[in-house]
Amino acid sequence: SPNISPRAIRQLPEAVANRIAAGEVVERPASVVKELVENALDAGATRIEIEIAGGGRELIRVRDDGSGIPGGQIALALARHATSKIDGESLFSITSFGFRGEALPSIGSVARLRLTSSDGTEAREIRAAAGRLEAPRPAAHPRGTTVEVRDLFYATPARLKFLKSDRAETQAISEIVRRLALAVPRVGIRLSEVSAEPRLLFRAEPEPGPEDAARLARAERVIGRGFAENAVPVAAEREGLRLTGHAGLPTAARGSAVAQHVFVNGRPVRDRLLSGALRAAYADFLPRERHAALALHLDCPPEMVDVNVHPAKAEVRFRAPGVVRGLVISAIIHALAAAGHRSSTVMSG
């Protein structure tokens, strides 16, 4: 109405701002697991141990042997927009998974969070509950970090209502862990459920050997035994973009796309452009509802891809989408042709 008088503009209190951000970053337990595991990887962990209970709603605990957080900085880790990963200048040379400095404060604003960390000299612990921070205190912890998240969304009941069954949330967690495990074959990862009857959900030891062999071994672990035998190697380059990895044979295709893994500069990506290109590449071999298993790595100069599209979604934006699409389609068609699978699609380039 024209009679509304202006109200004062105020800066939101930090706890409120964090909870709003949490709505974007933390959709479900699997998003918490993703953020915590990515943090462990960014810290250079070689082993990551994940424990969950109640589909991740009751408990998510992630322990790593990474660089840890210097004692004096542990409270900063829970401050909004505080990150050790970019220098504040360039968003175009991001090589870490994280860069927003939003995950930990967001999680701490909608759950009970306990962060314990040591850089090898001294260990500290800090707790947050529904956005309220306690003062850091001395703790005992080997070099590395443990983050424990309990009672996820207890502070935001509306969000809690949207969660699916424990089973479905556990399944989503398991998928995220596997996807990340495929991105980092050198890292040992374990996911288990703690309950009256503890259950091991996923385990992968660090893969030895040359990079290609390590990747393929990890793909066998994640996608399933038999993947290597039923896949062809992919290797192609175009205009600064490089596509490597393995594409599954049409004869071993599945009814769902969960076994399609694409990584862009090491980051797991689910992207319309890439899924479209994959569908086109297999169009002559597979009906629409069948999906080939694959593990593909697209590497390109950082300025050719924007990873800063959405905090939780695995989308990216390419500067030359047409080139990406063409490369993916022709690389797969060539790889399949080399293995005796012919396509009627006209190959470009």
Please give the helix or strand (H or E) that residue 24 lies within, else none: helix 14-25
C-beta of residue 231 within 8 angstroms of C-beta of residue 248: yes
In the complex, what is the shortest distance from the CB of residue 32 to ligand ADP, in angstroms, rounded to a whole number? 11
| Cα–Cα distance, 277 to 61 (Å, whole number) | 37
Task: Determine if 69 is a binding residue for ligand ADP (CB under 6 A).
Answer: yes
Q: Which is nearer to ligand ADP, 63 or 221 (CB)?
A: 63
In the complex, what is the shortest distance from the CB of residue 258 to ligand ADP, in angstroms, rounded to a whole number? 26
Task: Determine if 100 is a binding residue for ligand ADP (CB under 6 A).
Answer: yes
Out of 50, 60, 103, 300, which residue is the one contacting Mg ion (CB under 5 A)? 103
Q: Of 260, 258, 322, 253, whose CA–CA distance to 288 is shortest?
A: 253
Looking at residue 345, the DSSP 8-state letter turns out to be S
Judged by CB under 6 A, the stretch of 97-105, 187-195, 212-220, 300-308 that binds ligand ADP is 97-105
Q: Which is nearer to ligand ADP, 81 or 137 (CB)?
A: 81
Q: With helix as H, strand as E and coil as C, how does 47-59 read?
A: EEEEEEEHHHCCE
Task: Determine if 39 is a binding residue for Mg ion (CB under 5 A).
Answer: yes
Judged by CB under 5 A, the stretch of 96-104, 175-183, 236-244, 280-288 that binds Mg ion is 96-104
From the list ligand ADP, Mg ion, none, which binds 55 (C-beta under 5 to 8 Å, kind-based)? none
Question: What single string gives the DSSP state of each residue in 86-149?
Answer: --SS-SSS--SS--SS-HHHHHHHHSEEEEEEE-SS-EEEEEEETTEEPPPEE----SEEEEEE
In the complex, what is the shortest distance from the CB of residue 148 to ligand ADP, in angstroms, rounded to a whole number? 12
C-beta of residue 202 within 8 angstroms of C-beta of residue 191: yes
Task: Determine if 64 is a binding residue for ligand ADP (CB under 6 A).
Answer: yes
Task: Determine if 65 is a binding residue for ligand ADP (CB under 6 A).
Answer: no
Interaction residues for ligand ADP, span 33-52 (CB under 6 A): 35, 39-40, 43
Please give the helix or strand (H or E) that residue 335 lies within, else none: helix 321-338
Task: Determine if 268 is a binding residue for Mg ion (CB under 5 A).
Answer: no
Judged by CB under 6 A, the stretch of 94-102, 123-131, 230-238, 297-305 that binds ligand ADP is 94-102
Task: Determine if 33 is a binding residue for Mg ion (CB under 5 A).
Answer: no
Q: Which is nearer to ligand ADP, 61 or 291 (CB)?
A: 61
Tokens 């990862």, located at residue? 189
Tokens 């990515």, located at residue? 38
Q: For the chain, give the number of residues.
A: 349
188 DSSP β-pair partners: 47
In the complex, what is the shortest distance from the CB of residue 99 to ligand ADP, in angstroms, rounded to a whole number? 5
| Cα–Cα distance, 176 to 161 (Å, whole number) | 22
Looking at residue 164, the DSSP 8-state letter turns out to be -
| Cα–Cα distance, 192 to 51 (Å, whole number) | 5
Out of 102, 125, 148, 207, which residue is the one contacting ligand ADP (CB under 6 A)? 102
Which residues form the interface with Mg ion (CB under 5 A)?
A: 39, 98, 103
Which residues form the interface with ligand ADP (CB under 6 A)?
A: 35, 39-40, 43, 64, 66-69, 77, 83-85, 98-104, 145
